[in-house]
């Protein structure tokens, strides 16, 4: 198999001819798939999406990564959406997509990514961790309620709560009330720095001023994080200036 694929990779013209001929003559799905993998690119993504339903196995990580190149193609989008909506395939599909998240257009899959991520955020520790990562990496603002619910449900798991706060920070959708409540809880002091970072980058209009109002109760380290994060954003810088001049 490896030698066959190597031969196809170094002879792309012959591989395209073989695949074109296969449109008129029977060719085993796995053999056709091998040719598509050797070629790669958007055409391969479309071909994999069309072949996928005929296979007796789920797609491999490599196949999902190639599929990601064609998310604006209706066949590819439909196939990937089907994978994300299957509980048994959701996790490996999301992991593969996360690995190439900077190389493909996520907008066509936004609804399906959101649905899959929300489902994970209500699951096991491993699933919630992956869901928090996906929410942040794919900028899934619609996952904010599920992230907040997971944060409250995982109060005793510092590592997991930290991952959830990171997801809220990366989406920029951290709500004021739950994070202010967390910051007022001395039993959750280990999470305060991450909560401050999430609140400082929140797109909630009142978040900068609210965070500045909490400065007196923050540790020196947390205040430093807040100042750094707030000063990086126009809204935060304006709030800091207003607080200094008031």
Reported as a single tens digit per residue, the pLDDT across 78-91 is 999 999 999 999 99
Global pTM reads 0.84
Of 22, 88, 95, which is closest to residue 64 (Cα–Cα)?
Answer: 95
| Residue-averaged pLDDT of the chain | 90
Residue 207 CA to residue 213 CA, distance in Å, equals: 10
Smallest Cα–Cα separation from 123: which of 88, 77, 168?
88
147-160 pLDDT, tens per residue? 999 999 987 899 99
Which pLDDT score, from 0 to 100, does residue 41 have?
79
**Residue 27: its pLDDT value, please?**
57
Distances (CA, A) of 142 to 3, 117, 135, 157, 163: 46, 10, 9, 24, 17
CA-angle at 147, arms to 219 and 134, nearest 5°:
105
Query: Tell me: the pLDDT tens digits for 201-210?
Result: 999 999 999 9
User: Who has greater pLDDT, 50 or 81?
Assistant: 81
- Specify the long-range contacts of residues 82-90, CB closer than 8 Å, at least 24 apart: 83/58, 83/59, 84/109, 84/112, 84/113, 84/115, 84/116, 85/112, 85/115, 85/116, 87/119, 89/58, 90/116, 90/119, 90/120
- Would the pLDDT of 117 be above 80? yes
User: At residue 4, does pLDDT exceed 90?
Assistant: no
Above 60 in pLDDT, residue 26? no
Q: Round to whole Å and give the CA distance between 61 and 59.
A: 7
Contact indicator for 196, 211 with CB cutoff of 8 Å? yes
In this model, does residue 25 exceed pLDDT 60? Answer: no
Handedness of CA 46, 104, 141, 162 (dihedral sign): positive
Distance, in Å, from the CA atom of 197 to the CA atom of 160, rounded to the nearest integer, reads 16
For residue 158, give Cα distances in angstroms to 183, 195, 217, 218.
14, 12, 21, 19
Q: How far is CA 220 from CA 174, 192, 193, 201, 215, in A?
A: 22, 12, 10, 19, 9
What's the DSSP call for residue 104?
A: S
What's the confidence (pLDDT) of residue 54? 86
pLDDT score recorded for residue 21: 65
Tokens matching residue 167:
């997801």
Q: Which residue has the higher pLDDT, 8 or 113?
A: 113
Render the burial of 65-101: b for 16+ CB within 10 Å, e for the rest: bbbbbbbebebbbebbbebbeeeebbbebbebbeeee
pLDDT value at residue 199: 97
């Amino acid at each position: 198999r490896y030698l066959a694929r190597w031969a196809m990779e170094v002879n792309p013209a012959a591989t395209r001819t073989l695949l074109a001929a296969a449109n008129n003559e029977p060719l085993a799905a796995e053999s056709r798939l091998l040719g598509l993998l050797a070629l790669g690119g958007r055409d391969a993504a479309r071909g994999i999406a069309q072949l996928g339903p005929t296979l007796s196995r789920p797609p491999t990580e490599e196949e999902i990564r190639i599929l990601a190149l064609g998310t604006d193609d209706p066949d590819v989008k439909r196939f990937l959406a089907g994978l994300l909506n299957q509980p048994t395939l959701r996790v490996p599909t999301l992991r593969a997509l996360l690995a190439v998240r900077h190389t493909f257009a996520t907008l066509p899959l936004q609804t399906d990514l959101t649905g899959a991520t929300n489902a994970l955020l209500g699951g096991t520790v491993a699933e919630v961790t992956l869901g928090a990562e996906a929410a942040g990496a794919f900028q899934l603002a619609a996952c904010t309620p599920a992230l907040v619910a997971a944060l409250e449900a995982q109060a005793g798991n510092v590592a997991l709560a930290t991952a959830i706060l990171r997801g809220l920070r990366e989406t920029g959708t951290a709500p004021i009330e739950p994070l202010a409540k967390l910051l007022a809880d001395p039993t959750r002091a280990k999470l305060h720095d991450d909560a401050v970072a999430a609140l400082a980058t929140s797109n909630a209009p009142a978040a900068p001023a609210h965070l500045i109002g909490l400065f007196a109760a923050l540790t020196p380290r947390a205040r430093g994080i807040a100042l750094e994060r707030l000063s990086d954003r126009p809204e935060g810088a304006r709030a800091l200036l207003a607080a200094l001049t008031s």
